[in-house]
Every structure is written in C-alpha cells, then in structure tokens.
Amino acid sequence: MTGFTVAGRGVYVETAATLVIADTHIGRDESSAVSLPLGAAADVRERLDALLAQFDPETVVIAGDVVHTFGRVSDHSCEMLEALETTCEDAGADLVLVAGNHDVGLANAWDGPLHDEYVFADGESSTRTVVCHGHELPTTTADRYLFGHVHPAIVLEGVRHPCVLHGRECFRGADAVCLPAFTRLAPGAVVNESTAEAFGSPLVTDADALEPIVFDDDAGESLRFPPLGELRPLL
C-alpha cells in the first residue's frame, strides 16, 4: 500500500484530503540550548502555507510534539499555535492535534480536542489510517499508521536529509510511515545504520524494511530509495 504523496516534510493522503505533519516543536526557539535563526517561527508557518496551497487539504493533522515544552506552554508558543490554526482556517482546512510525549501542557493551551490517535478513512475505500505520535503503541487497528517522534534523516554523499520512512506491511500487517520533524530546528536522527531498537518507537519493528523517501526541494519531487537493508551496503 502507498496512497500518499511526500512533499516538504509532510505527507498528503489525497483520497482523504488530509495533510499530515509531525513534530513542529513550537517553543523550541525559547530554549537557551538552541541557537535560533531569526524568523524560525515564521518559517514553520510559511512552509505549512506552501503545502496548503499545493494540496488544498480539508484537514491538517500534526502528529504529536506540537509544542516543545514538557510543562506550561508559554504565551509565545500559544500565539504561534494560534497562527498555525489561522493559517489552516484561511486555507479552508481544519487543524487537528495529536498529543506527543512533549505535549503534557498542551491541553491547557488548546481549546479544541486533543487526540491520542486520530483515525480517518481514505474516501470511499475501506482503507483506514491512524495518526499517532509513535512513542507508544497505538490501540486502534488500521491499514496504515502515520507517526513522528523519531525525526528520521538519512546521510547521502555526506549530506543529511530529512526523510520519510515507509515500511510496507511491517507493523501488525499494516504500513508504517514515519515522518521527519517539521521544524528545521531539529537536525534529525540519522538512520543509515540504525537498528529497530535505536529508533525508540514501538511502531518500528524491522529497520531493514524501511524505505527512505527524500523530498528534493530544488527539483520539487520525492525520491524513493530501496529499503535500508538493501541500501546500507551502497551508502
């Protein structure tokens, strides 16, 4: 099963008119440990706006670690979250939030529902997709699981690229699709040599079966590579 398009650190499921991104980590720029390039908050909003213009989705789902703090969500982060919601509303899309391990205080900063798992169907088909964060086992049975948490990146010819990892029928007989961090403040966890245990997600059961998908910003297209088990000897 495929049925999705990769673009700009996001995944779009056309038959469900649903765009999924993960790990926005709003508020990471407030950490004293982070060297923040000016305009990073606007960068997240502008790249989301570009995906909205490209796909015109009805729904946008953030698959966890919406905010970066484990505690109280700051006023600055609340303003950023409101800006993302407005960006979606202006494009005619609903914003859906899935809780991640960082989102302990998010319920106090978000007026809408906060999901542990978000389920949608692909149009008139019986294909069922679950969006979760990926730090815990999902409770819902599905044909496809979309998740974040891992921040995957792959090094190709000495350059680190954020990537989507697609495992075909490798989690409970369903497809597992791991998204990169949407924030560019996260450098990404290099997956070139990673074992399943190193991913830190119970949805990754066979690292060798994961196919990296890298979006080429310059060419405006996604590049799909062989599964890691076949690709590693070539890297």
- Would you state the pLDDT for residue 38? 47
Q: Residue 199: its pLDDT value, please?
A: 93
pLDDT of residue 42: 81
- Euclidean distance between CA atoms 11 and 177, whole angstroms: 9
Interior/surface letters 189-217, b for 16+ CB within 10 angstroms, e for the rest: bebeebebeebebebbeebebbbbbbbee
Q: For residue 69, what pLDDT is reported? A: 63
∠ CA 152-154-158, nearest 5°, is 145
Q: Give tens-digit pLDDT for 81-104.
A: 888 999 999 999 999 999 988 667
Q: What is the pLDDT of residue 223?
A: 95
Inter-residue contact 123 to 74 (CB < 8 Å): no
Q: In the prediction, which pLDDT does 122 show? A: 83
Cα gap 153→201, rounded to integer Å: 15
Question: Residue 187 has what pLDDT?
Answer: 81
Give the residue ranges of the chain where pLDDT is below 50: 32-38
> CB count, 10 Å around CB of 71?
9
